[in-house]
Amino acid sequence: MCGVVGLIGAPEAAREAFLALTTLQHRGQDAAGILTYEKSGFHRVKNLGLVDAVFSRENMSSLIGNLALGHARYSTVGKGDLVDVQPFMLSYPFGLGMVHNGNIINTAELSHELRTKSQRHLLTQSDTEIVLNLFAEGLAEVTKADGKLDFDRVCAAVSRVYAKTVGSYSIIAMIADHGIVAFRDPHGIRPLIWGKRTEKRADPGSPPTCLPTGESHIFASESVALSFLGYDEVRNVAPGEVVFIDLDGVVNTRVLSAREPRHCMFEWVYFSSPESVIDDVPVYGARIALGKSLANLVKPRIADGSIKPDVVVPVPETSRIAAIALAEEIGVPYRELLIKNRYIKRTFILDSQDKRESAVNLKLSPVRSEMAGKRVLLVDDSIVRGTTSKKIIELVRRAGAKAVYVVSTCPPIQHPCFYGIDFPNSKELIAFGRDTAAIEKELGADAIIYQDLPGIVNAVASGGQKPCMACLDGKYPTEVKSGREFGEARERDRGKAKAPS
């Protein structure tokens, strides 16, 4: 899971890419990078760390041009080294740059094929480099006769990616002296939205710094980036669709490989910003619906006396909206009694259990005066490994809570995710092979109440679509025969990342 942005025609493309990445920082905190292009060539700044730590006034001044790509990284492949930080570039054909959000499952197979059949030596562990090379091969093949590029040939190159790759991907690429390309996997698992803005000239007589049409365009992981920068939403890039905007501002679109949309339910449950609208479903509204659905499951437990909550407390911050809706529905006071240290990373996306465990105590401080003697109903967005939940329950008990009940806006996660949420091994998951009673015992909770599958579907689906809930029901939208190998590789990467140098 990462945050991506691409701009064409923006007078201050690098600055806008920086601001967009700032609004998408929640999607990745490991590293960030921006690549721009103008006639003199590519210009890139990238490094490990948060967006505002990577970029400075000095290095931003080198990022010239009105064509830009940006990336905020959450590492799900590799060791998190600088070499794996995006955007990536290739010099041939034309000169290419690329950013990617998602996971390619069959990376080992494709890496071997590129090395042995195409004699392409990969320089990183990133699946983005694999996609970039496939795209480059496709472009080279269709333009070798005359060196000319048009939309049909762009589509042929993207079709090569569709034919070879298995997994989730929302990709933005730039082609030097030609334009920007955006495309999305055939199931649309990862989000990608397109926006447009009419530009104003500072001096009516000056040459335009935008496209000849007087417009600029943006593609981004979430709509929050568009609204912050003043772009009007055009629409979501459709599953299996390619969009190509050239330097004259001519827009071409084509659906190449559409299948049943299977947008990832975790975008609404946890990952996306509450201000965003993901695939036409507002994140805020979805979380309100999740809270109301949970209330229907909590009320019978209150009625039969198995739980007696005195106060509803959200686990900051993603669960806050659902907790408010739940508290309103069950008539129990809502209180924010876990105070978050805003300078600590999101613990779920930290890359090791040790880091997650130590971060919890730094991240949250209980309001002891309000918890002592209370039966606390904790609302969390999800329970994945259980590491964070167990620590929070212990924290609340030490603050004097009389009882601790936990409700999760997400059903039990029992299967690996291979599409960009970082739990590719079932053995990591606390709900794998355990019933609710066993999970309660493992976490030390007096009760656990999970969202049900209909509650998820009703909250996040639009127009009868089926969200991807493979981590809940094991029904993967793609084949996952390479999944075990992918999971094992991720475990090796984590081990290497923790090993002393």
Q: Please report, for the domain that includes residue 365, its CATH number.
A: 3.40.50.2020
Q: Is residue 496 a part of any domain in this protein?
A: no
User: Is the Cα torsion angle 461, 465, 468, 469 positive or negative in sign?
Assistant: positive
Residue at 495 is within a domain:
no
Residue 319 binned pLDDT confidence (cut-offs 50, 70, 90) = very high
**Any idea what the CATH number is for the domain that residue 121 is in?**
3.60.20.10
pTM for the whole structure: 0.92
Within-domain flag for 32: yes
Whether 289 has a pLDDT exceeding 80, the answer reads yes
Distance CA 126, CA 133 (A): 12
What is the percent of the chain with per-residue pLDDT over 70, rounded to a whole number? 91
Return the percentage of the chain with pLDDT > 90, whole number: 82
Burial class, 489, CB count within 10 angstroms (exposed 0-12 / middle 13-18 / buried 19+):
middle
User: What pLDDT band is residue 481 in, cutting at 50, 70 and 90?
Assistant: confident
CA 268 to centroid of chain Cα atoms: 11
- To the query of whether residue 2 is one of the catalytic residues in this protein, the response is yes
Identify whether residues 296 and 365 lie together within a single domain. yes
Residue 25 contacts residue 53 (beta carbons within 8 Å): no
252 in the same domain as 152: yes
Distance CA 131, CA 110 (A): 9
Residues 317 and 379 in one domain: yes
Q: Tell me, yes or no, whether 226 and 344 share the same domain.
A: no
CA distance 86 to 102: 13
The pLDDT assigned to 490 comes to 63
pLDDT at residue 360, rounded to an integer: 66
Same domain, 203 and 285: no
Distance in angstroms (rounded) separating the CA atoms of residues 49 and 65? 24
What is the rounded average pLDDT of the residues 397-413?
Answer: 97
**For residue range 320-345, what is the model confidence (pLDDT) as tens digits?**
999 999 999 999 999 999 998 877 65
Is 456 contained in some domain?
yes
Tokens 């050239």 locate to 246
Select from 246, 253, 279, 283 the least CA-distant residue to 268.
283
Range 311-336 burial, b when 16+ CB lie within 10 A, else e: bbbbbbebbbbbbbbbbebbebebbb
What pLDDT band is residue 501 in, cutting at 50, 70 and 90? Answer: very low
Question: For 466-494, what is the mean pLDDT?
Answer: 82
Helix (H, G, I), strand (E, B) or coil at 407: strand
**In which band, very low, low, confident or very high, does the pLDDT at 206 lie, cut at 50, 70 and 90?**
low
Assess if residue 493 is contained within a domain: no
Domain around 187 = 3-262
For the chain, how many structural domains are there in total? Answer: 2
Whole-angstrom CA distances from 384 to 48, 162, 318, 393, 415 are 26, 31, 14, 15, 10
Same domain as 189, residue 67:
yes
Whole-angstrom distance, CA of residue 199 vs CA of residue 287: 35
Tell me the CB-side half-sphere exposure of residue 479, using CA atoms within 13 A: 6
Q: Which residues on neighbouring strands pair with residue 366, listed in sequence order?
A: 338
Q: Which pLDDT belongs to residue 172?
A: 98
User: Is 22 in the same domain as 65?
Assistant: yes
Mean pLDDT of the chain: 92
Are 443 and 390 in contact by the 8 Å Cβ rule? The answer is yes
Write the pLDDT tens digit of every residue in 209-230: 789 999 999 999 999 999 999 9
- How confident is the model at residue 499, as a pLDDT? 47
Does 407 lie in the same domain as 290?
yes
Tell me, yes or no, whether 223 and 308 share the same domain: no
How would residue 464 be classed by pLDDT, with cut points 50, 70 and 90?
Answer: confident
Same domain, 131 and 39: yes
Single out the catalytic residue among 2, 155, 468, 471: 2
pLDDT above 60: residue 378:
yes
Residue 155 in 3-state DSSP?
helix
Of 463 and 429, the structure prediction assigns the larger pLDDT to 429
Which of residues 262, 297, 312 is at a domain's end?
A: 262
Q: Residue 1: its pLDDT value, please?
A: 77
Q: Tell me if 489 is assigned to some domain.
A: no
Q: What angle do CA 103, 226, 29 make, to 5 degrees?
A: 45
Q: Which of 22-26, 124-128, 147-151, 339-343 has the lowest mean pLDDT?
A: 339-343
How far is the C-alpha of 245 from the C-alpha of 234, rounded, in Å? 13
The reply to whether 498 falls in a domain is no
Say if CB 415 and CB 474 are below 8 A apart: yes
Same domain, 416 and 376: yes
Residue 267 lies in a domain: no
Query: Are residues 191 and 334 both part of a single domain?
Result: no
* pLDDT at residue 489, as a whole number: 66
